[in-house]
A = this chain, B = another copy of it.
Amino acid sequence: MMTSRSSSHPIHPLFIKRWSPRAFDPVKLSDTDIHTMIEAARWAPSAYNVQPWRFIYCLRQDAEWDLYISLLNPFNAAWAKNASALVFLVSDTVFQDRNTPSAYNSFDAGAAWVQLALQATDMGYDAHAMAGILFDDVTEKLNIPDRYKVEIAIAIGQRTTPAALPPELQEREGPSPRKALSEITFKGAFPHE
């Protein structure tokens, strides 16, 4: 499946180019490459500039790779094992220097995640976020302190042919469509439901 994506407005091409494949070629990425992607995330905006995001990562050639894959649910582990890097994104739930709960840690982490993904796309790689992860195991095995919320895992790698996937995943491989602009954009007020 290769859904066509076209925009009726002249947006930056990176937004259309970015999508979330599952078929990855098991090539090596370097620490420098991952650092460059996280560097893009680092410049994301956040409420009061608290920057609640933290990135914990592993490359496929690292000793911890099998452990990292075991922190995904079986569905995701089956394809993400061919990625080049796995990143866990966690967010600080405490508003720094104030000792009060943060209301924006997840919102801001979402901004950081997509900057990472866009940078990966710009470098010729692809990033795929996963909610299907073993949250308790991530917290325990990666030593995540209580005040941090485990948000997502991110598989990063080099896209390859869907033929590398099991048949049921081949059918789903391709850029996903979107709701129409008119379904998400309202002028003046929310329409009466």
Contacts and interface: CB of A to CB of B under 8 A. Distances in A.
B110 A185 contact: no
A104 B43 CA distance: 22
B12 A14 contact: yes
A119 B13 CA distance: 10
A58 B80 CA distance: 43
Given A12-B14, A90-B190, 19 more contacts: A8-B39, A9-B35, A9-B39, A11-B36, A11-B119, A12-B118, A15-B40, A19-B45, A38-B184, A42-B181, A42-B184, A43-B178, A107-B109, A107-B151, A109-B110, A110-B113, A111-B113, A143-B189, A145-B193
Interface of A: 5, 7-12, 14-16, 18-20, 31-32, 35-36, 38-40, 42-45, 47-49, 51, 53-58, 62, 64, 90, 103-104, 106-111, 113-115, 117-119, 122, 129, 131, 141-145, 148, 151-152, 176, 178-179, 181, 184-193
